[in-house]
């Protein structure tokens, strides 16, 4: 195994160029908006929604990269390297969630013609409280994710680039905040498009160089090792119990819910769908992204298997070369690509591109949510269009600063993939369930929705805490057959072999509690079920509001009330009711 070496100047040049390219995209769109302002939309709408005239292909590429962050590039291959290919199934399930989004959620949400998805709760429940509670959950969900997205690649890249991780955290945070703030959604979408190309180029380079490396021995050896070590066999675990690390059925159900929280009921995605001129175009780009999404996720997953073939018989975690499984991929990329000047820099740019795309999308969408959900009602009519746009830019800066600061607090949380799956999964279930109740259950009202939403989130926080405190799966790993003979001539470090525990680690440490052993991959499905189980009985104490039919799935192909889109938000006191003509369903 190679020891640390100085990188070639070409690697640093590629990394710096990719960073400049992203920031330049923001500067270009800021100058374009200033000197050639849109005549078809307001300045704020142009900043947050791209004037609702964004071209399809860049939006498709933006959606592709938004949720494929540096965590995917680092955490997923490491997971496959250590624990098998079950997580790859989760990405395939993402296709099903995208199709559900396309035909179930999007037809309803697109018709709102609003900047923020959360306005749906105003229209459906006449409840500012529910809207703001959901918005707070979305903001917590997004900030948590973005802070980990900044931290993970910073730590992984700091050693190989010989740059302090704190400096990298600041660089990622500041550069993304800069181009998102000055360029708005257009800069985000076009920068994402460039970054998508970098992601494909970096992953392809690593796979081709890796498979052809003499220590790997070709594609046949990669597949044989995956089969012989049981990593492929993990795909065929059909045990339905929830108290296990992962399984086929956990992926099918909880994976669907988790991806719906990302693609179907998430401001980051819906904001991009709504930036297109028509619903048909918005639905079409979902189909555009399906095959590229599966290909990219499959390629990234394959990196874990190629790394296994490279390090088989001499695991860098057992030789002490690295101490965190999340660093396996970057170490592998350095060993494989560093001999060719510029290629390792390309892969680093690939990770940076994935990181920046996720951060910029999150900042832009959170800015829209915070303005629309918390500030618009107070400042609507008191701010000019330019002032509202300036306020939105200020929110982007604040969000960028908060996420950057929180990234410094991410270190004690554990592995990056575990953190993301736990936090995102715990929040995803109730996020999807609240929209399912609103869309499919006409009887649901403010009471059933609010109570069940709070109960489900509280229950998931408790379960998540048990898992973090007890960590029942810390001894789960598949063999790499490390031996002193296998490491001969590759390392001077002493070898400390990992010993398998005296129990089936796939089902967790039996000394831990049952709640702790509930699969983190199952959190999304569990949270969804808890909310539905609590909410549905409560709806029998409520009465369906027939005037809200146009907000349901059943009326997704019907026109909305003609003057609903022009209706300004008004904070009603308890003695006032909405004008019924605005809310009558179409006959």
Whole-angstrom distance, CA of residue 367 vs CA of residue 395: 5
pLDDT band at 578 (very low <50, low <70, confident <90, very high): very low
pLDDT at 427 over 80: yes
Residues of the chain above pLDDT 70, percent: 92
pLDDT digits (tens, 9 = 90+) for 534-568: 999 999 999 888 888 888 898 888 777 765 544 44
Whole-angstrom distance, CA of residue 67 vs CA of residue 75: 13
Return the number of other C-beta atoms located less than 10 Å from residue 95's C-beta.
Answer: 17
Per-residue pLDDT, 563: 54
Please answer whether residues 507 and 409 qualify as being in contact, where contact means their C-beta atoms are separated by less than 8 angstroms. Answer: no
Mean per-residue pLDDT, 328-353: 90
pLDDT at 572 over 60: no
Its pTM stands at 0.88
pLDDT digits (tens, 9 = 90+) for 78-113: 999 999 999 999 889 999 999 999 999 999 999 888
Per-residue pLDDT, 564: 56
Polymer length in residues for the chain: 587
pLDDT band at 575 (very low <50, low <70, confident <90, very high): very low
Q: DSSP characters for 377-408?
A: HHHTTTS-HHHHHHHHHHHHHHHHHHHHHHHT
Whole-angstrom distance, CA of residue 115 vs CA of residue 271: 7
Lowest mean per-residue pLDDT among 204-213, 336-345, 421-430: 421-430
Tokens of 377: 């009602």
Q: What is the CATH architecture assignment of 9-30+43-409?
A: Up-down Bundle (1.20)
Per-domain residue ranges for the chain? 9-30+43-409
Tokens of 154: 């910073």
Mean per-residue pLDDT, 275-289: 90
Share the mean pLDDT of the chain. 86
Per-residue pLDDT, 222: 96
Mean per-residue pLDDT, 505-522: 94
Per-residue pLDDT, 419: 67
Lowest mean per-residue pLDDT among 3-12, 233-242, 441-450, 490-499: 3-12
Return the number of other C-beta atoms located less than 10 Å from residue 389's C-beta.
Answer: 21
**Environment class of 488 (CB within 10 Å of its CB; exposed 0-12, middle 13-18, buried 19+):** exposed
Per-residue pLDDT, 232: 94
Per-residue pLDDT, 48: 78
Q: How far is CA 175 from the centre of its chain?
A: 20
Whole-angstrom distance, CA of residue 18 vs CA of residue 56: 24
489 — alpha (psi -120 to 50), left (phi > 0) or beta?
left
**Environment class of 417 (CB within 10 Å of its CB; exposed 0-12, middle 13-18, buried 19+):** buried
Q: Which of 56-70, 169-183, 347-361 has the highest mean pLDDT?
A: 169-183
Mean per-residue pLDDT, 47-62: 80
Per-residue pLDDT, 394: 94
Mean per-residue pLDDT, 314-326: 85
Whole-angstrom distance, CA of residue 113 vs CA of residue 413: 39
Whole-angstrom distance, CA of residue 109 vs CA of residue 181: 26
**Dihedral Cα 295, 299, 300, 306, nearest 10 deg:** 170
Residues of the chain above pLDDT 90, percent: 46
**Environment class of 269 (CB within 10 Å of its CB; exposed 0-12, middle 13-18, buried 19+):** buried
């Amino acid at each position: 195994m190679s020891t640390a070496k100085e990188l070639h100047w070409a690697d640093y040049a590629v990394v710096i160029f990719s960073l400049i390219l992203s920031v330049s995209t923001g500067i270009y769109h800021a100058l374009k908006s200033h000197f050639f302002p849109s005549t078809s939309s307001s300045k704020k709408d142009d900043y947050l929604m791209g004037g609702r005239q964004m071209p399809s292909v860049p939006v498709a590429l933006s959606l592709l990269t938004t949720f494929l962050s540096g965590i995917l590039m680092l955490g997923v291959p490491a997971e496959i390297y250590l624990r098998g290919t079950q997580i790859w199934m989760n990405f395939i399930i993402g296709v099903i969630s995208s199709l559900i989004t396309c035909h179930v959620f999007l037809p309803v949400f697109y018709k709102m013609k609003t900047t923020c998805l959360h306005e749906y709760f105003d229209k459906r429940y006449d409840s500012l409280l529910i809207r703001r509670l959901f918005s707070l959950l979305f903001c917590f969900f997004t900030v948590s994710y973005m802070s980990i997205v900044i931290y993970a690649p910073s730590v992984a890249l700091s050693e190989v680039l010989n740059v302090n991780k704190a400096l990298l955290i600041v660089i990622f945070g500041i550069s993304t905040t800069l181009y998102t703030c000055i360029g708005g959604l257009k800069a985000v979408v076009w920068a994402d498009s460039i970054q998508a190309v970098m992601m494909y180029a970096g992953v392809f380079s690593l796979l081709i160089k890796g498979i052809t490396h003499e220590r790997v021995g070709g594609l046949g050896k990669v597949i044989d090792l995956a089969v012989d070590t049981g990593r492929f066999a993990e795909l065929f675990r059909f045990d339905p119990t929830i108290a296990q690390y992962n399984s086929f059925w956990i992926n099918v159900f909880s994976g669907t819910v988790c991806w719906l929280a990302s693609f179907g009921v998430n401001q980051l995605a819906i904001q991009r769908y709504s930036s297109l001129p028509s619903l048909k175009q918005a639905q079409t780009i979902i189909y555009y992204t399906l095959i590229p999404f599966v290909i990219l996720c499959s390629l990234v997953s394959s990196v874990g298997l190629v790394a296994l073939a490279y390090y088989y018989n001499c695991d860098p975690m057992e030789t002490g070369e690295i101490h965190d499984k999340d660093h396996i991929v970057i170490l592998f990329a350095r060993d494989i690509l560093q001999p060719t000047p510029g290629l390792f820099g390309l892969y680093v740019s690939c990770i940076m591109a994935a990181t920046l795309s996720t951060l910029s999308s999150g900042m832009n969408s959170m800015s829209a949510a915070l303005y629309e959900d918390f500030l618009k009602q107070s400042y609507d009519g008191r701010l000019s269009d330019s002032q509202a746009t300036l306020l939105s830019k200020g929110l982007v800066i604040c969000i960028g600063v908060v996420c950057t600061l929180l990234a410094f607090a991410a270190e004690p949380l554990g592995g990056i993939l575990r953190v993301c799956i736990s936090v995102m999964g715990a929040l995803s279930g109730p996020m999807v369930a609240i929209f399912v109740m609103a869309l499919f259950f006409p009887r649901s009202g403010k009471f059933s929705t609010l109570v069940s939403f709070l109960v489900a989130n509280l229950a998931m926080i408790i379960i998540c805490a048990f898992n973090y405190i007890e960590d029942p799966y810390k001894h789960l790993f598949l063999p790499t057959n490390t031996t002193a003979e296998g490491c001969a001539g590759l390392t001077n470090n002493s070898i400390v072999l990992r010993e398998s525990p005296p129990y089936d680690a796939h089902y967790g440490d039996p000394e831990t509690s049952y709640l702790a052993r509930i699969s983190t991959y199952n959190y999304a499905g569990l949270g969804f079920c808890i909310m539905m189980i609590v909410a549905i009985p409560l709806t029998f104490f409520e009465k369906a509001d027939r005037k809200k039919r146009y907000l349901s799935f059943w009326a997704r192909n019907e026109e909305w009330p003609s003057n609903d889109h022009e209706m300004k938000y008004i904070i009603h006191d308890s003695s006032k009711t909405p004008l019924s003509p605005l809310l009558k369903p179409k006959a």
